[in-house]
Amino acid sequence: MHLADGVLAAPWCAAWTLLALPFVLLAWRRFDAQRLHDERLFPLVAMVGAAVFAISCMPVPIPIVGSCSHPCGTGLAAIVVGPLLTVLITTIALVLQALFLAHGGVTTLGADIVSMGIVGGFVGFVVYRAARRWGLGIVGAAFLAGLLSDWATYATTALELALGLHGERSLGAVFGAVCLAFAPTQLPLGLLEGGVTAGAVAFLARRRARLFARIDRVAEERS
């Protein structure tokens, strides 16, 4: 998901930025409004943000597509703080990584926010909620949320690359080629992220039952 500067042409960078911007602004407004009424929100968001930053700082370079493969942490974040605040957390993490760690680019920041923060966060949240409503336990639901959030992020990144780079070639063929390039690392990393997400949620439910019950209830309200 960490697309480097120069991978996408300027019009595509602008388009993805314009798509991401309303979500980022809405996420900030949501956070700014809710922190005034919930003194525990700020430390919770900071804790989850630190986890997302650390988890997504473990890149496996994929040179042929100009990106990296790595866990994202947005499925876990979406379960704990909801999808909109996950967009805000992801934006901050990506900005810091681009500026100080050379993970991803500044011009491609909008595309990275769309794939990891928006698609990854909302897919993780929707999958978790749907799995719980269908009777799956919290551990199983969290595993699916982490797994599918991760894979959805990279499918979106593959689409972004295919749209920007296919030229005279078929969009579908380029999309498939990029997905195949990601697959050897991201398929197992997605399973790993599902396991980490399930483990973290199980820990919260077991050791911080009241906190997890509150998170579960408030996240429903913040969806």
**CATH (domain of 104):** 1.10.1760.20
Residue 140 domain-assigned (yes or no): yes
Residue 51 domain-assigned (yes or no): yes
DSSP letter assigned to residue 208: S
Residue 3 domain-assigned (yes or no): no
Q: How many domains does the chain have?
A: 1
Per-residue pLDDT of the chain (223 residues; tens, 9 = 90+): 688 899 999 999 999 999 999 999 999 999 998 887 878 888 889 999 999 999 888 766 665 555 567 889 999 999 999 999 999 999 999 999 999 988 889 999 999 999 999 999 999 999 999 998 898 988 999 999 999 999 999 999 999 999 999 888 899 999 999 999 888 888 888 999 999 999 999 988 887 767 666 666 655 554 4
Residue 1 domain-assigned (yes or no): no
Q: For residues 177 and 153, what is the distance between their CA atoms, to the nearest angstrom? A: 16
Q: How far is CA 169 from the centre of its chain?
A: 29
H/E segment holding residue 8:
none
Residue-level pLDDT at 223 = 46
Q: Residue 128 belongs to what domain range?
A: 10-222
Residue 58 domain-assigned (yes or no): yes
Q: How far is CA 100 from the centre of its chain?
A: 20
* Model-wide pTM > 0.75: yes
Residue 2 domain-assigned (yes or no): no
Residue 5 domain-assigned (yes or no): no
* Cβ burial, residue 19 (10 Å; 0-12/13-18/19+): middle
Q: List helix spans (H) across 134-170.
A: 138-165
